[in-house]
């Protein structure tokens, strides 16, 4: 494993544009379960019933049972070594952008500034009927949270059947096309269109470094270096290795 970490640090050290694509696995060590692992959220809630926009419109009270559980976990969570390490890589000039499918704000709280939120952010709520917006924390004492117009509010996260925010979509596509390195961390990469990012990057010549507890469909197709293990441990080892390389170069 140490060899693979050193190899990845070399690849990152030689890159002028490194992009990361992250998923729920990077927040697992912050106490937020992922979706598709054995203990994941979708083992308890059927996404067709709880994560589709039509389901929210038809049964918002029911969908809020799941949203409230997520909201409680997210509001208690702190950035872990994966988020902090990625923030440090950005400060070192070794990670330029993160495209995250997560809605928990933990990359930003971990020190990353250049974060594209592909599936939105749960810290704000909107009314689908009158368009008013609110901070989630200002409505946390209400369940389900309601707009001043009386309707149930929806978090500003992308539900199945909703479009990806246009800015996030176009910026991610541009970056994936131009990146020299793509770090894919903690995602099963099965949800479209975020899962097209690795293939776009690969087609345009990027080296792909994948960090995951388990192999994914990317591992045997586009991945160049597979770092198997928890994102927190691997990313902090990677930060140490990049620091050592940078120090060697400056002697």
Residues annotated as part of the active site: 119
Give the CA distances from residue 112 to residues 39, 77, 84, 166, 233, in Å, rounded to whole numbers and listed in that order: 28, 16, 8, 21, 18
Residue with tokens 């087609």: 203
Cβ 102 to ligand OAD, closest distance in Å?
Answer: 7
Residue with tokens 């729920």: 24
Q: Which residues pair with 117 in a beta bridge?
A: 100
Q: Based on the number of CB atoms within 10 Å of its own CB, is 237 exposed (0-12), middle (13-18) or buried (19 or more)?
A: buried
Residue number, 135 or 190, with CB nearest to ligand OAD: 190
x/- contact string, 153-182, with ligand OAD (CB under 6 A)? -----x-x----------------------
Query: Nearest-5° angle of CA 36, CA 208, CA 35?
Result: 10
Residue number, 111 or 165, with CB nearest to ligand OAD: 165
Cβ 93 to ligand OAD, closest distance in Å?
Answer: 25
Residue number, 180 or 197, with CB nearest to ligand OAD: 197
Q: Which of 9, 19, 32, 51 binds ligand OAD (CB under 6 A)?
A: 51
Contact positions with ligand OAD (CB under 6 A) in 59-98: none
x/- contact string, 210-229, with ligand OAD (CB under 6 A)? -xxxx-x-------------
CB 136 within 8 A of CB 82: no
* Whole-number Å distance between alpha carbons of 2 and 71: 37
Q: Based on the number of CB atoms within 10 Å of its own CB, is 6 exposed (0-12), middle (13-18) or buried (19 or more)?
A: middle
Residue number, 214 or 248, with CB nearest to ligand OAD: 214
Q: Which of 5, 9, 11, 28 binds ligand OAD (CB under 6 A)?
A: 28
Q: Which of 4, 7, 17, 37 binds ligand OAD (CB under 6 A)?
A: 37
CB 94 within 8 A of CB 41: no
* Interacting residues with ligand OAD (CB under 6 A): 23-25, 28-29, 34-37, 40, 47, 51, 101, 119, 158, 160, 186-188, 190-191, 211-214, 216, 230-231
């Amino acid at each position: 494993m140490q060899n693979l970490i050193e190899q990845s640090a070399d690849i990152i050290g030689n890159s002028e544009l490194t992009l990361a694509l992250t998923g729920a696995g990077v927040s697992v060590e912050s106490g937020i379960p992922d979706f598709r692992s054995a203990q994941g959220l979708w083992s308890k809630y059927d996404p067709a019933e709880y994560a589709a926009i039509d389901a929210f419109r038809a049964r918002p009270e029911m969908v809020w049972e799941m949203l409230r559980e997520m909201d409680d976990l997210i509001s208690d969570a702190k950035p872990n070594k994966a988020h902090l390490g990625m923030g440090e890589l950005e400060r070192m000039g070794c990670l330029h952008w993160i495209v995250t499918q997560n809605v928990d704000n933990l990359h930003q709280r971990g020190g990353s500034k250049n974060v594209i939120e592909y599936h939105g952010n749960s810290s704000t709520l909107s009314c689908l009927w009158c368009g008013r917006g609110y901070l989630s924390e200002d409505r946390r004492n209400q369940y389900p949270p309601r707009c001043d117009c009386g309707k149930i509010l929806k978090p500003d996260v992308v539900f199945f059947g909703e479009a990806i925010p246009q800015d996030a979509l176009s910026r991610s596509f541009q970056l994936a096309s131009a990146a020299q390195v793509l770090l894919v961390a903690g995602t099963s990469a099965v949800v479209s269109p975020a899962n097209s990012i690795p293939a776009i990057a690969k087609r345009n010549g990027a080296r792909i470094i994948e960090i995951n507890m388990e192999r994914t469909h990317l591992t045997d197709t586009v991945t160049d270096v597979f770092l198997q293990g928890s994102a927190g441990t691997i990313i902090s080892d990677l930060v140490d290795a990049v620091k050592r390389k940078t120090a060697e170069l400056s002697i």
